Amino acid sequence: MTEDKRTRGPVTVFLVDDHALFRAGARTELESITDEVRVVGEAGSVAEAVAGIARTRPQVVLLDVHMPDGGGAEVLRRVRPEQPDVVFLALSVSDAAEDVIAVIRAGARGYVTKTISSRELVRAVVRVADGDAVFSPRLAGFVLDAFADRPGAEPISDPDLDLLTPRERDVLRLLARGYAYKEIASELFISVKTVETHVSSVLRKTQLSNRYELSRWASDRRLV
């Protein structure tokens, strides 16, 4: 999709996961499949990650959500103020709504689960490095669910900020149905770039949303 346009070298990636075995596996997979991605460092704890990211200045951080001392959200909170141009892609075995929403709101540019194939993971890394968002169908479902106007929901405080446009909602629906960006583009008769713009703005709204709806929803529903 977008990788053709890239002119710089391989995307530099930093791995954060508390399982050394997983880090080793991910590193091998990422580097053996393609030369688009280069792993520049790895860390097994929040403190190590913060220091390592500051040192190696990667483009993308592959971030585990569950770690002993605070988890991925903590890394995001500590790194983002100082290095706003580092992009985070959450990579977790958990697809519980709470975890997904928490890291997305903390500023991750995407969320993929560990069952993802290596090739798709490389594509996701390259895509977030280019400034796009990566939504798994499940994540799209969570966001749709969180933003759905349903009877009995809280009144919306700031419509400009909080509401998804009908178009964004359409895009999310197709994402949740398992469509690739290209398929969404042809389905809605728009360009892939427009799809990416919609998805990015959904992500921005999710992060900026001051509605407590998201977290409340996540705890109320406990949906997987």
Partner 1 sequence: MGDVQEQATEERTANAAARSASSASSASRPQLGIQVGHQAVASPGGPPKMYRRRTGRAVAGVAGGLADHLGVKVLWVRATFAVLAAFGGVGLLAYGLLWAFVPQQSRDEPPTVESAKERQQAYGLLALGIGLTVAGGAITGMLSGWVGLPVAVALVGAAVVWREADESQRRRWRDGARSGVAGAVLGGGGWSAAVRVLSGVALVMTGIGVVVLRGSSFHQVQLALISVLATLVGVAVLTIPFWLRLVRDLGDERRARIRTEERAEIAAHLHDSVLQTLALIQKQSESPREVARLARGQERQLRTWLYGPSGYGAPKQPDGEGHGTPGTLSEAIAGICGQVEDAFAISVEQVVVGEAELDESLTALVHAARESIVNAAKHAGVEEVSVYAEVEPTSVTVFVRDRGKGFDPDAVPEDRHGLSDSIRGRMERNGGSCRLRTAPGEGTEIQLAMPRKAMAKTAQGAT
Q: Write out the residues near partner 1 by the rule CB under 8 A.
A: 94-96, 115, 137-138, 140-141, 144-145, 148, 150-153, 173, 176-178, 219-224
CB of 221 to partner 1, least distance (A): 7
Give the separation between CA 98 and CA 23, rounded to whole angstroms.
24
* Residue closer to partner 1, measured from CB, 158 or 220: 220
DSSP string, 184-222: HHHHHT--HHHHHHHHHHHHHHHHH---THHHHHHHHH-
* Residue closer to partner 1, measured from CB, 47 or 180: 180
Computed from CA positions of residues 23, 24, 27, 32, in that sequence, does the dihedral angle turn out positive or negative? negative
* Residue closer to partner 1, measured from CB, 65 or 86: 65
* Residue closer to partner 1, measured from CB, 22 or 47: 22
Structure tokens at 128: 């977030």
| H or E stretch covering 51 | helix 46-56
CB of 114 to partner 1, least distance (A): 10
CB of 176 to partner 1, least distance (A): 5
CB of 143 to partner 1, least distance (A): 9
